[in-house]
Structure 1
Amino acid sequence: MTERSQPRVRRIAINTGGGDAPGLNAVIRAATLSALNEGWEVLGIRRGYMGLLEGEVDGEAGVFPLTAQAVRGITHLGGTILGTTTRGNPFGLEVRQPDGTWGTVDRSGEIIQKFREQEIDALIAIGGDGSLNIAHALYQKGLPVIGVPKTIDNDLSATDVTFGFQTAVEVATDAIGRLHSTAEAHQRVMIVQLMGRHTGWIALESGLAGGADVILIPEIPYDVNRIAEKVRERDAQRRRFSIIVVAEGAVSVEGESYADATGRYRGVADQLGDQIAAATGKETRTLVLGHIQRGGEPIAYDRNLALRFGAAAVRCIREGSLGTMVALQGNRIRAVPLGDAVHDIKRVAPDSELVMTARQLGVSFGD
């Protein structure tokens, strides 16, 4: 992207939005220390943009200085010292109407004004597709923004990998591995539900590494009858247990998914368990791994990737490359236009090498 000239940078801000991911604190630390070494002041905004809009969050200042002391010893910590929210879109914040009902209001103009009042020269926005879409929209309204990709789902197409993904895969793989002994001891079918509303990257990589017999992902619709065939086939081979890994957003060939009225995915493992038990007569148990996939300490890979992203974001500000997102492409960090970065979701290709490898090893995708 062509570099833009800009006034001398004196003060930047950092925020985190959307769901948390292992490695957020490493980004914050790297960006803060890199900016301080440039001679800039660094501010942290609590809970996305809410700290800026409300002035105070949970009794603490909504915007506060990020000093070297404030980010000391946080690289290995999960979560985010800035806090986060999935309900902080300034273009459509929920508000209670005079009649008691809920509506939305656009407060994005206030964001721009408050940045100007506080003389903030640039924002490093750390988030997934939703948060980065917000950042891109704010950039289009005049806010100088650099995006840092964050999602354990690994579904941003402009970057090869997002930090937090490998940690989620490690957690899920460990859980799947631990189920083998109990499943075999009781000759049960064990169904593990993992995160992945729109893509199956976590389910695919952890299922393959964990030795799953069936992997169900949103990109490949499944037929319960084919899954039951796989379970019966294993029984005939005297392997009287089966491990099924399913992404929460997996859909059947009939188009059935398990999103509720709020858009959250619930119950796919339980529903599938009932169907498999009815089709095979096998005792079936389910495990929803849930938010444990995004909690706890990031593994070394994610820490280092997050540190690289944070330092690269500061370089982008220094060079005037605004309205971009830092991305890992090959073995280098590059700046890509935010609009391109959030344009497409990176999905698992049904004919990808990972899928082909799993099929060659006898894994069923229920198709």
Structure 2
Amino acid sequence: MSVGILTSGGDCPGLNAVIRASVFTGSKLYDLEFVGYRWGWKGLVENDTVPLGRPQVMGISKQGGTILGSSRTNPFDFGGVERVRQVMEEGGVDALIAIGGEGTLAAAQRLSAEGIHIVGVPKTIDNDLSATDYTFGFDTAVQIATDAMDRLRTTGDSHGRCMVAEVMGRHVGWIALHSGMAAGAHAILIPEQKTSIDQICSWVDSARSRGRAPLIAVAEGFKLDTMDDAHSERGLDAFGRPRLGGIGEYLAPMIEERLGIETRSTTLGHIQRGGTPTAYDRVLATRYGMAAIEMIREERWGEMVALHGTDIVKVPFSDALGKLKTVPQDRYDEARVLFG
């Protein structure tokens, strides 16, 4: 039996660990053969492949990014199920492992409904997929953001400045919430919670009055209570969505003008996606990759692996799609106690 593997959508730390675990498990236990499709769905519809054996995946679990490359190609823009089936048949590929986020899994669900043998592995640094408690890449992104905020705090303390750290999070604030709590931020601003500039300044002033250099963690998708849309200055992406980024730079001069405290903003951007995955993400990704092979052996097409508590389970694609996993009110409320 031959299995194809692809990584699609935004890259994140841990992708290589999934690939390695799947290839090792499948070849060692079940004598499966593997082929990798380069650049996500683009490689599948263009039949752009690389061999995937144990020699190609040895030692890659510690590497960030993906050895297969990735893109945001939609296979239904390039022949859809007919083209996918043709390429798989010509290459003798019996099943696919699709590793990606909501867009990737939505395409996988459509292909599965048309009879393609496919299983999924959820991936996103935003941790916003339903049906799974955590996705790999999230822990690494949080650690990178926390390290950056720790560094911002020391320079802020040295100059008595207010420091604003902008992290990723278009629709959900999990990265901002976790890294902000870990770094001891005096305010955490997330897309799920519109907040007034007066309230933000109150938190900043409270921290300053205690002799602290205020630190604010803000997700890129955060909106003030006076804003209808998230801050965007860079046009639209390939999917017609606004390219977010810059809310920190937008807030910093407002805080400085109102409170007279020197305020600086830093946007972490794609730094959060890159580099070496944390031990937690390596282990989770490895468990996901091994479980994906078991799904293929059990012919559980149209399903993906997920984490419930500490257990790896299998769930239908539909459970993960259609509704983002947002930060619930009680989680924000418990963090808010620490603000100011």
| Aligned partner of 2:214 among 242, 246, 258 | 242
Aligned to 2:335: 358
Q: State the distance in 2 between where 1:256 and 1:320 align.
A: 43
Aligned to 2:149: 176
* 1:133 paired to 2:106: yes
Aligned to 1:83: 69
| Partner AA of 1:266 in structure 2 | G
CA displacement 1:163-186 (0-9 Å, x = unmatched): 011111111111111111211111
Aligned to 1:34: 25
**Which residues of structure 1 form unaligned runs of 5+?**
1-9, 56-61, 93-104
* 1:302 paired to 2:302: no
Given that 2:13 and 2:277 are in contact with CA atoms closer than 8 Å, whether structure 1 keeps it comes out as yes
CA displacement 1:313-344 (0-9 Å, x = unmatched): 00000011111010011221111001122232
- Pairing of 1:332-343 with structure 2 (within 5 A): 332-343=311-322
Q: State the distance in 1 between where 2:165 and 2:327 align.
A: 19
Given that 2:45 and 2:79 are in contact with CA atoms closer than 8 Å, whether structure 1 keeps it comes out as no
Aligned to 1:196: 169
* 1:222 paired to 2:195: yes
| Partner AA of 1:54 in structure 2 | E
- Pairing of 1:66-145 with structure 2 (within 5 A): 66-86=52-72, 88-92=73-77, 106-145=79-118
* 1:266 paired to 2:251: no
**Which residues of structure 2 form unaligned runs of 5+?**
237-241
- Cα distance change, pair 274–106 in 1 and its aligned pair in 2 (3 A): farther
3-state SS in 1 of match to 2:282: helix
Aligned to 1:327: 306
Aligned to 1:253: 225
Give how far 1:359 is off: 2.3
* 1:158 paired to 2:141: no
3-state SS in 1 of match to 2:165: strand
3-state SS in 2 of match to 1:264: strand
Structure 1: which 4+ aligned runs deviate by more than 6 Å? none
TM-score (norm 1): 0.88
Give how far 1:43 is off: 0.5
Matched-pair identity in %:
47
Q: State the distance in 2 between where 1:336 and 1:322 align.
A: 10
Given that 2:9 and 2:103 are in contact with CA atoms closer than 8 Å, whether structure 1 keeps it comes out as yes
3-state SS in 2 of match to 1:91: helix
Aligned-residue RMSD, C-alpha: 1.4
Q: State the distance in 1 between where 2:164 and 2:184 align.
A: 13
Give how far 1:225 is off: 1.1
* 1:14 paired to 2:5: yes
Range moving further from structure 2, 146-155 or 260-269: 260-269
TM-score (norm 2): 0.94
Given that 2:186 and 2:207 are in contact with CA atoms closer than 8 Å, whether structure 1 keeps it comes out as no
Q: State the distance in 1 between where 2:152 and 2:32 align.
A: 50
* 1:314 paired to 2:293: yes
Given that 2:194 and 2:222 are in contact with CA atoms closer than 8 Å, whether structure 1 keeps it comes out as yes
Give how far 1:119 is off: 2.3
| Partner AA of 1:246 in structure 2 | V
Q: State the distance in 2 between where 1:191 and 1:23 align.
A: 28
Aligned to 1:59: none
Give how far 1:265 is off: 0.3
Given that 2:187 and 2:216 are in contact with CA atoms closer than 8 Å, whether structure 1 keeps it comes out as yes
Give how far 1:44 is off: 0.3
Give how far 1:107 is off: 4.1
Q: State the distance in 1 between where 2:281 and 2:209 align.
A: 42
3-state SS in 2 of match to 1:205: helix
Give how far 1:306 is off: 0.4
* 1:286 paired to 2:265: yes
CA displacement 1:54-99 (0-9 Å, x = unmatched): 34xxxxxx2122011000110100010000012x11123xxxxxxx
Give how far 1:200 is off: 0.3
Q: State the distance in 2 between where 1:192 and 1:108 align.
A: 43
How many residue pairs match? The answer is 332
Q: State the distance in 2 between where 1:247 and 1:221 align.
A: 12
Q: State the distance in 2 between where 1:196 and 1:321 align.
A: 32
3-state SS in 2 of match to 1:182: helix
Q: State the distance in 2 between where 1:109 and 1:341 align.
A: 25
